[in-house]
């Protein structure tokens, strides 16, 4: 077990060279890397609001499996490290990604996710927001969701934005990647926004906003 | 089978916001270490397509915030202050 104090975080040469070689230096570097990955995964799990609903054993399993998988990923992708950040920062992101995806999956594992039930706009006046200042925009959005999006775009958008299902869980249920689901979500929002701009309900982005 | 849909204020704001320019989750992952270090260690703002992606993708945003926390702890920096700065850069209009 490597203590936190022993974890090197500053010098890329401390990592890239030994992890690229073999022998005792390689073994030692792998042990140190695994400790680093365990710390990053543990930090994510300790601060994640979603993870609080999981039992201690499940959280520990997620930390260990994430650290194991991230260690392998970092070693396999070592040739892609370009010194644009510290090695430790680059490596941390693999452990955080693994832990975050596993926490989302574990949290939603027992919950029913019915992506085939296409959400339909409620009748006007049925939502509390119909009485708010945003009622016009809300009703326009409901119409746009119903008329401007494909069934697939509607399922993804409703699941993520309205039902609050994590994108990784939606991707799993659809047998797709996070990247592909985000592209669907992005295109759907773009269609909605274009429709709202055409109706004069919102302003198109200015050049200054687009460059921010 | 269909089901009714109602929109919260948060959903309305999200659905009527602009998330251009486009950046994929994979590209966000490629850049996140550099961008987060830029903010934590050099005070650089989060801008452009990377910012737009973090605004539009709660999963990538949560992971970037977690990375910032670990990097700030390593460097002995003010974690809460940096996270607040991150949220301000990403989430304010």
Q: Between A104, A162, A211, which is nearest B5 by CB?
A: A162
Which pair of structure tokens corresponds to residue A121?
Answer: 């706009």
Distance CA B13, CA A191 (A): 15
Please give the interface size between A and B, counted as residue pairs whose CB atoms are below 8 Å apart: 149
With contact defined as beta carbons under 8 Å apart, do A48 and A100 qualify? yes
CA A139 to chain centroid: 29
Q: Is residue B5 pLDDT above 80, yes or no?
A: no
Of B2, B8, B56, the CB nearest to A120: B2
C-beta atoms surrounding A19 within 10 Å: 20
Residue B14 has what pLDDT? 84
Listed ranges A5-14, A125-134, B8-17, B61-70; the one with the highest mean pLDDT: B61-70
Exposed e or buried b for every residue in A132-154, given b needs 16+ CB within 10 A? eebbebbbbbbebbeebbeeebb
Q: Does B91 touch chain A (CB under 8 A)?
A: no
Of A197, A118, A198, nearest to A150 by C-alpha is A118
Quick check: B1 and A117 CB within 8 A?
yes
> What pLDDT is recorded for position B13?
81
Give the one of A167, A178, A209 whose C-beta lies nearest to B18's C-beta: A209
Cα B16 from Cα A136, distance rounded (Å):
12
Q: Each residue of B19-36: pLDDT tens digit?
A: 999 999 999 999 999 999
Q: Are B62 and A100 an interchain contact pair (Cβ–Cβ within 8 Å)? A: yes
| Contact yes or no for A100 and B29 at CB 8 A | no
Q: How many CB atoms lie within 10 A of CB B25?
A: 23
Per residue in A15-35, pLDDT (tens digit) is 999 999 889 999 999 999 999
Query: Which residues in chain A have Cβ-Cβ distances shorter than 8 Å to B25?
Result: 178-179, 182
Chain B CB contacts of A134 below 8 Å: 9, 12
Residue ranges of chain A with pLDDT lower than 70? 1-12, 114-134, 206-212
B42 min Cα distance to partner chain A (Å): 12
- Partner residue opposite B7 with nearest CB, options A100, A142, A211: A142
Other C-beta atoms closer than 10 Å to the C-beta of B91 total 11
In angstroms, the separation between the Cα of residue A211 and the nearest Cα of chain B is 6
Residue B28: closest C-alpha in chain A: A179
């Amino acid at each position: 077990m490597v203590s936190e104090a022993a974890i090197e975080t500053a010098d890329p040469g401390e990592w890239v060279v030994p992890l690229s070689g073999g022998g005792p230096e390689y073994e030692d570097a792998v042990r140190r890397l695994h400790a680093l990955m365990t710390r990053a995964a543990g930090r994510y799990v300790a601060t994640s609001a979603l993870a609080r609903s999981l039992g201690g054993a499940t959280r520990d399993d997620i930390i260990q499996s994430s650290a194991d998988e991230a260690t392998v990923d970092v070693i396999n992708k070592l040739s892609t490290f370009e010194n644009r950040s510290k090695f430790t920062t680059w490596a941390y992101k693999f452990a955080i990604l693994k832990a975050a995806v596993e926490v989302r999956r574990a949290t939603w594992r027992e919950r029913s996710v019915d992506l085939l039930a296409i959400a339909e706009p409620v009748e006007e006046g049925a939502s509390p927001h119909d009485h708010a200042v945003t009622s016009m925009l809300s009703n326009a959005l409901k119409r746009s969701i119903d008329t401007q999006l494909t069934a697939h775009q509607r399922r993804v958008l409703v699941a993520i934005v309205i039902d609050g299902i994590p994108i990784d869980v939606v991707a799993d249920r659809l047998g797709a990647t996070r990247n592909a689901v985000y592209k669907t979500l992005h295109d759907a929002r773009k269609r909605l926004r274009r429709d709202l701009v055409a109706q004069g309900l919102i302003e198109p982005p200015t050049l200054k906003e687009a460059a921010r | 089978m269909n089901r009714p849909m109602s929109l919260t204020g948060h959903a309305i704001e999200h659905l009527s916001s602009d998330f251009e320019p486009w950046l994929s989750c994979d590209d966000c992952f490629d850049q996140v270490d550099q961008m987060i270090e830029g903010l934590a260690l050099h005070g650089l703002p989060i801008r452009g397509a990377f910012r737009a992606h973090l605004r539009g993708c709660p999963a990538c945003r949560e992971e970037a915030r977690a990375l910032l926390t670990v990097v700030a702890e390593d460097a002995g920096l003010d974690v809460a202050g940096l996270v607040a700065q991150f949220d301000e850069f990403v989430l304010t209009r």
